[in-house]
Amino acid sequence: MPLSGLNNPSLLQQQCFINGQWVDADNGETIPVSNPANREIIAHVPRMGSAETERAIAAANTAFPQWRDLTAVERSRVLNRWYELMMANQEDLARIMTLEQGKPLAESRGEIAYAAAFLQWFAEESRRAYGETIPGAKPGQHIVVITQPIGVTAAITPWNFPAAMITRKAGAALAAGCTMVVKPASETPLSALALAKLGAEAGLPPGTLNVLTGSATAIGGAITGSDIVRKVSFTGSTEVGSKLMAQSARHIQKISMELGGNAPFIVFDDANLDAAVEGAMASKFRNTGQTCVCVNRFLVQRDVHDAFIAKFKNAIDGLVVGDGMDEGVTQSALINQAAADKVNEHLQDALAKGATLVSGGDAHPLGAQFVQPALITDVTPEMQLCHEETFGPLAAVIPFDTEEEAIQIANDTPFGLAAYFYSDNVHRVWRVAEALESGMVGINEGIISNPAAPFGGVKASGLGREGSHEGMAEFMEQKYLCMGSI
C-alpha cells in the first residue's frame, strides 16, 4: 500500500471532517481515489451529498461567533501553528499529493511550501483588518468605516493544486474571522483531508473548518442554495464557475471566481533567448502543463523564430517522463485519460490544419495517461488549441511580424488570466504590459505566483483576487458608522 509508508500515518484520512469529527457518508457510500501513474486505487473517501453538507454548514454557523470573537492575534497564532505543522509534515503531504495527483515529488514538495506560505501570509494579514475615518457632512458629525467577517463561507477547489488552492482561500477566510466548508476535487481529496487534520491540531475549533467529499452537484447545490453561506470562493473551469455564479444569485452570495486561462507567451526579437527558453520551460511544463497559468500559445517574432525553436526543442527533449514518485522525473501522468486524450486531440487537430511537428507526438510506452512532451510550429489561429486550454505538455508556436500583430493575437481569447513576454526594451515593456488583457503579466519571468501578489484574472478567467492584501477583503464586509451631534 503506497500510503503505508507515511512517517505520520494520521495524515491519511478516509473520512470527511465535519464539526471536528471524522465521519462517513450517511449511506456509507464511498468513492475511490486512484494514482494517475498506474490507476491503482490508493484510498476511498465518503460520497457525501446535500444532507451532510447542510450539517457542515450548520456546524460552521455555530462555530462562527466564537471564532469571529477571538482577537486577530489569537487567530493569527492558530494560522501560524497550522503553517508550522504543514512544513513539519511536508514530506508526507508531498507523498500524499503525488500519489493522488501525479505531479513529480519535487513539485509536490514545492506546492506544500507554497500552500503553507498562504497560511503564514494570512496569519500576518489577520492583524491588519483596518478601517478608515471620513469627515462628516456637518458640524458634530463623524464617519467611521469598519470591516467585519462576512460569516459562513464555502470553497470549491480543483485537483491540480490540491493543497494551495485550499489554503489560498481558507487562510484568508479564517484570518478574516469567518468559518468555512471546503469541497475538494474528487480526484484529490486526501490532501484536503490531511490539511483538515493539521488544522485541528493547530487549534481550529470544531466547525471552523469542515471538509466534504462526494457529489459535486449535490454538495455545490447545497452550498449555493443556502441562505447561511454568505460567500462562495470557487477555483476551477470557467464552465463550472459560470454555473455556480448563476446558482449563487438566488441568495445574493458574495463570490470569487478563479477560472480557466489561455496564456500567451510572446518572444520579441529584442529578448534574451536563453532566458526566454528557461521561462518557457518553467511556465509551460510545470505540473506537466496542468496549471491555470501555463502557457497555452507561444508567439515568436519571425527574426528570432528559428533560433528560439532550436533552443526550445533541445530543452523539451531533456524532459523526463515517468511516475511522479520516482526521483528525477519532471513530467508525470496526466490526471486522467480524458486529460491525455484532450492533449492528443489538440495536437492532431493542429497537425491536420497545417502545423509542423518538431518534437514528441508519439504514444508513450508507459501508458495512455502519459503524454510525450511535444513541440509544434506554424500554428495558426483557427486551430482548436488557440481557443481552448490544452492543459498538458504541448508547446504550440505561432510566428508573428509586428508588436501590434502579437498583441492582437494574444488578446484574441475570452480568457485573461496570465500572459508572458520577453523583451529587453523598456519602452516596449510598458507598451505591451499595458496592452495585454490579463490579470497577471510575467515580464522576462515564467513563474509569477506569489502569496504577496493579487492572483486573479479578467474577462472569462474570473472575478476577485486571492493572496496579497486583497485576499482577506474578499471574506469581509464594510460598514460605515455615521455619528451625529457629537
Ligand X SMILES: O=C[C@H](O)CS(=O)(=O)O
Ligand Y SMILES: NC(=O)c1ccc[n+]([C@@H]2O[C@H](COP(=O)([O-])OP(=O)(O)OC[C@H]3O[C@@H](n4cnc5c(N)ncnc54)[C@H](O)[C@@H]3O)[C@@H](O)[C@H]2O)c1
Q: Does 50 bind ligand Y (CB under 6 A)?
A: no
Which 275-294 residues touch ligand Y, going by CB under 6 A? 292
Q: Which listed option, ligand Y, ligand X, none, makes contact with residue 182 (CB within 5 to 8 Å by class)?
A: none
When binding is defined by CB under 6 A, the residue of 12, 164, 218, 347 that contacts ligand X is 164
Torsion of CA 101, 383, 441, 476, to 10 degrees: -60
Q: 151 or 261: whose CB is closer to ligand Y?
A: 261
Of the candidates 330, 469, 305, the one whose C-alpha atom is nearest the C-alpha of residue 399 is 305
What is the DSSP code (8-state) at residue 89? T
Residues 268-327 that bind ligand X (CB under 6 A): 291-293
List the single partner that 243 binds among ligand Y, ligand X, none, CB under 5 to 8 Å by kind: ligand Y
Nearer to ligand Y, 149 or 439 (CB): 439
Please identify which residue in 220, 324, 442, 446 interacts with ligand Y, judged by CB under 6 A.
Answer: 220
The residue (of 56 and 293) whose beta carbon lies closer to ligand X is 293
Among 52, 258, 403, 437, the one annotated catalytic? 258
| Of the residues 52, 92, 111, 389, which one makes contact with ligand Y according to CB under 6 A | 389
Contact predicate 321/366, CB 8 Å:
yes
Q: How far apart are CA 31 and CA 67, in angstroms?
A: 32
SS (H, E, C) 308-343: HHHHHHHHHCCCCECCCCCCCCCECCCCCHHHHHHH
> Please, what is the minimum distance in Å from the beta carbon of residue 292 to ligand X?
3
Measured from the CB atom, is 160 or 224 closer to ligand X?
Answer: 160
- Say whether 127 sits in a helix, a strand or coil: helix
How many helices (H) and strands (E) would you count in the chain?
Answer: 13, 20
Does residue 118 touch ligand Y according to CB under 6 A?
A: no
The Cα–Cα gap between 142 and 223 comes to 39
- Choosing from 108, 157, 160, 288, the residue that interacts with ligand X (CB under 6 A) is 160
- Interstrand relation of 263-267 and 295-301 (parallel, antiparallel or unpaired): parallel
Query: Which residues within the stretch 176-195 sit at the binding site for ligand Y (CB under 6 A)?
Result: 183-186
For residue 159, state whether it binds ligand Y (rule: CB under 6 A): yes
The footprint of ligand X on this chain (CB under 6 A) covers a number of residues equal to: 8
**What part of residues 432-471 is at the interface with ligand X (CB under 6 A)?**
449, 455
258 counts as catalytic: yes
Which of residues 49, 236, 373, 442 is near ligand Y by CB under 6 A?
236
Among ligand Y, ligand X, none, the one that 259 touches (CB under a kind-dependent 5 to 8 A) is ligand Y
Residue 204 is classified by DSSP as: P
Of 341, 398, 392, 340, nearest to 370 by C-alpha is 340
Would you state the cell numbers that stand for residue 423, as one nine-digit string?
Answer: 523583451
Would you give the DSSP letter of residue 278?
H
Least distance (Å) between residue 476 CB and ligand X: 22
For the record, the C-alpha cell of 49 comes out as 451529498
Using CB distances below 5 to 8 A depending on partner kind, what does residue 216 bind out of ligand Y, ligand X, none?
Answer: ligand Y
CA distance 366 to 333: 9
DSSP for residue 270: T
Residues within the interface to ligand X (CB under 6 A): 160-161, 164, 291-293, 449, 455
Q: Which residues are catalytic?
A: 258
